[in-house]
Amino acid sequence: MQREVKALHSKRLFGKNAHDLCLVPNVVIPPKFKVPDFEKYKGNTCPKEHMVMYARKMSAEADNDKLLIHYFQDSFTGAASKWCMGLDSANIKTFVDLSEAFVNYNYNEDMAPDREELQAMTQNDKESFKAYAQRWREFAAPIRPPLEEKELTKIFLKTLDPFYYENMVARTPSNFADMVTMGMRLDEGVREGRLVKESIATESSEEKGQEVSMMKGWPQQQYQAYHPVVVVTPDANAVQNPGYHL
């Protein structure tokens, strides 16, 4: 390994040698170390939350700054990955330096979604309840100040399809995780044929009558009851001969 590193020192890329291109050179990787499966950061969510998740995945090597810095790049994708490639090793001496740079990276809280956008979300036709819940929760994560659990479940409930809403509203799940579990059970009931995923509105007889009486928005006309008129024609002989009697 040392010979390979020394060999790389002599090679120059983009006007620099391989040693200079490394954000943190001379990293010592512990024997049998396995790189965790990191959740990729795309640049559109809260960097603090991503930093916490990364640190927890690397908790076994929490005292190894070089290793923490070296593998941090593996948790990026897209624009965030380009940002990481542009870091200057002269400014990154410790993992704290890297953390501070990352938290300040192109994150504007004014661009975070608000509650109105969250309330406007809907589940796609072919999207499972679990997939929708995950997508909705990820969208809600950057909102500041953070949503409390009670408000979180209340807003999410109002975005649901009538099938889920009607089955959940009376039970009032205590937290978001319970709501997701309940939704998954409802999906399972539909797959097994125990439940029918359709919402049929119940109409009163008065509402139905009003619906029948309306056609293209025109009110039904009211008509007077029909009474036949009897026309009496006078006898011609009686008119000509007033003294004539039948």
Contact 219, 213 (CB under 8 A): yes
The closest alpha carbon to 133, from 194, 175, 169, belongs to: 175
Same domain, 84 and 123: no
Same domain, 76 and 132: no
Contact partners, residue 166, CB within 8 Å, separation at least 6: 199
Same domain, 13 and 51: yes
Q: Say if 30 falls within a structural domain.
A: yes
In which domain, by residue range, is 15 found? 8-107
Same domain, 77 and 123: no
If one compares 128 and 219, the residue with the highest pLDDT of the two is 128
Same domain, 98 and 123: no
The closest alpha carbon to 57, from 30, 75, 41, belongs to: 75
Give the tens place of pLDDT for each residue, 229-239. Answer: 555 555 555 54
Q: Say if 224 falls within a structural domain.
A: no
If one compares 92 and 219, the residue with the highest pLDDT of the two is 92
Q: C-alpha angle with apex 216: 212 to 221, nearest 5 degrees?
A: 60
Alpha-carbon separation of residue 136 from 113, 198, 243 (angstroms)? 11, 22, 102
Same domain, 90 and 157: no
When divided into structural domains, the chain yields a total of: 2
Give the tens place of pLDDT for each residue, 75-99. Answer: 888 777 777 778 887 888 888 988 8
Task: Give 228's pLDDT tier (boundaries 50, 70, 90).
Answer: low
The closest alpha carbon to 52, from 112, 99, 110, belongs to: 99
Same domain, 24 and 92: yes
Least confident segment among 5-9, 62-66, 102-106, 120-124? 5-9
What whole-number distance in Å separates Cα of residue 39 and Cα of residue 97?
A: 21
What whole-number distance in Å separates Cα of residue 220 and Cα of residue 212?
A: 9
Same domain, 136 and 159: yes
Residue at a domain's end among 49, 82, 107: 107
Same domain, 103 and 128: no
Give the tens place of pLDDT for each residue, 29-68. Answer: 888 888 888 888 877 677 888 888 898 989 888 888 889 9
Contact 68, 36 (CB under 8 A): no
Same domain, 156 and 103: no
The closest alpha carbon to 133, from 172, 169, 180, belongs to: 180
